[in-house]
Structure 1
Amino acid sequence: MADSDNLSEAEIRHTVREEVSKAGWSVISTVFWTILAAFAVLVGLQAIQIALYASGLGALAYAAVGILITGASVYLLYLLHWD
């Protein structure tokens, strides 16, 4: 605790600039991954929709891929916003 009492104004300004920069990148990163996950949810739902119109082993494969993509994307959104 004693080290923080002896900081100069320049050191404080440097630290604040550094942390604001990190916070800005964090916000940009969160927005990017949120948009990507939202599109991935749509891709997963589209694969499930294709599986409904396909038949045989292809339908099973499309359904499995769609469920996997949708589940992973929803989990990413959960981690980004509600965890």
Structure 2
Amino acid sequence: MTPSDGLSEEKIRAIVRDELIGTSRTLIGTILWTILSIFAVLVGLQLFQLALYTSSILAMAGCLLAGTLVTGASLYLLYLLHWA
């Protein structure tokens, strides 16, 4: 029984090897971006905590705005990586 597309075993092995390399790069990238996003969420939460100890209202507003921006962007990245 011969294959219908006529691929040799070497060609099949090369295709599988290329696909495994591409998949592993994608998996490693997803893991690294997930770790980076989690650290960024922690930085955003730290900015909220810092806002509680600032001496002026303007500094508090800046820290709250930056914390909201960093936390929101990080959570959005996590959503795109895992749920979209």
TM-score (norm 2): 0.89
State how 1:2-81 maps to structure 2 within 5 Å.
Answer: 5-54=5-54, 55-81=56-82
Tell me the amino acid that sits aligned with residue 82 of structure 2.
H
Task: Tell me, in whole angstroms, the C-alpha distance in 2 between the residues paired with 1:26 and 1:75.
Answer: 19
Give distance in 1, aligned partners of 2:30 and 2:47.
26
Number of aligned residues: 80
Unaligned runs of 5+ in 2: none
The CA RMSD measured in Å over matched residues stands at: 1.2
Deviates more, 1:66-75 or 1:49-58: 49-58
Amino acid at match of 2:63: Y
d(CA) in 2 for partners of 1:6, 1:59:
69
Instruction: Tell me the CA shift for residue 53 of structure 1.
Output: 2.1
